[in-house]
Structure 1
C-alpha cells in the first residue's frame, strides 16, 4: 500500500472503527466477535494496493464487513457439514469388527494427511496443532505469529478443503449433495 493510501486508511480507521465495531456488535451480539470482524475488515483493506477514494466510507466499510461475514458463514456451514459427515462415517464403523474399524481409521488418517499436504503451510500447521496436538487457538496463534482470528480462518480453510476434496472424490449417489 502506498504512503498516501496508508494515511487514508489510518484516517478511515480513526474516523470509523468505533462506529463499525458498534454496528458489528449489534449485528453479532458478541463484542469479541465484533472486534475480530472489525479488525479483519481493516486488515482486508490494508491488503489493497490502492485504497479507492471513498465518497461514503461507512457504506464501503459495511460492504467489506458484510462480505467477510458471508464468507465466515459459508466456512462455518462447510465445517459443520464436514463434522456431520465424519459422525456418519464413525457411526457406520460401530457395526464393523475391530479390524475393519482400525483399517478405516488408518485409511482416513492417510487420506487426511494427503489432503493437508495440498494446503499452504500455516493452515496445515494450524490444523495439525489443533487436531493432533490439542493446542489452543492462542497457542497456535503465538507459534504461527498470527491472530487467533487467523487461526480460526486457517482451521475453517483446512476443513473446507478436506470436505470439498472428499466429496468431489465420492462416486455419484454416495454424497448427499
Structure 2
C-alpha cells in the first residue's frame, strides 16, 4: 500500500474511532492519562503495520491492539515492582541510577517476553535452573525426563536470552 493511502486510511480510522477507543480504555484503566497513552500507542502500531486500508472492523482491530498494549503495560509494571522489591530487600544499600534502573527493567521485560515465547517445558526447565538453582540432573529427576532433554531445553532458552541481549 502506498504511504499516502495508508496515511489516509489511518486518518479516517482515527477520526471515526479515536474518541471511542479513548473512552473504552478510560473505562478499563480508570486513568485518563494511561488511556490517552495506550490510545496513542495503538495508532502508532497501526501506523507501523502499514495495513490500515485492509482493516474491515476498525473497533475490533483497535481493541485487540489496545488489549495487548494494556497487558504489556501491566506486565511491565509487575516486573518493575518485583525488581524494586528485590532491590529493596538486598542487605547492602546499592545506589543505582535511574538510567541503570530503566535499562535493567527493560532487559527484564525483554527476557520475560523471550521466556513467554518459549514452550511451557522449556520455560519450566529454565526457571528451575536459573531461579531455583537446580542442577540439570536434579531437573531431569524432578521432571522425569532425560538429562539430554534438559540440556536441549536449556540451550533453547539460553539462545533466546542471548538473542534478546544481543539486540540491546
Same-fold call, TM cutoff 0.5: yes
Structure 2 counterpart of 1:75: 76
- In 1: Cα distance, 2:39 partner to 2:28 partner: 12
Matched, 1:159 2:159: no
- In 2: Cα distance, 1:45 partner to 1:75 partner: 21
> CA distance change for structure 1 residues 31 and 162 in 2, over 3 Å: closer, same or farther?
closer
Q: Name the structure, 1 or 2, with higher relative contact order (CA <8 Å, separation 6+).
A: 1
- In 2: Cα distance, 1:75 partner to 1:41 partner: 17
Give the drift of 1:158. 4.3
Structure 1 counterpart of 2:124: none
RMSD value, Cα: 3.3
Aligned residue-pair number: 118
The C-alpha deviation readout for 1:86-110, integer Å capped at 9, x for no partner, is 0111xx23xxxxxxx6xxx4xx76x
The C-alpha deviation readout for 1:52-95, integer Å capped at 9, x for no partner, is 51221100000010010011111111101100110111xx23xx
- TM-score after normalising by structure 1: 0.56
Gaps of 5+ in 1: 94-100, 113-126, 132-154
- TM-score after normalising by structure 2: 0.59
Gaps of 5+ in 2: 113-126, 134-168
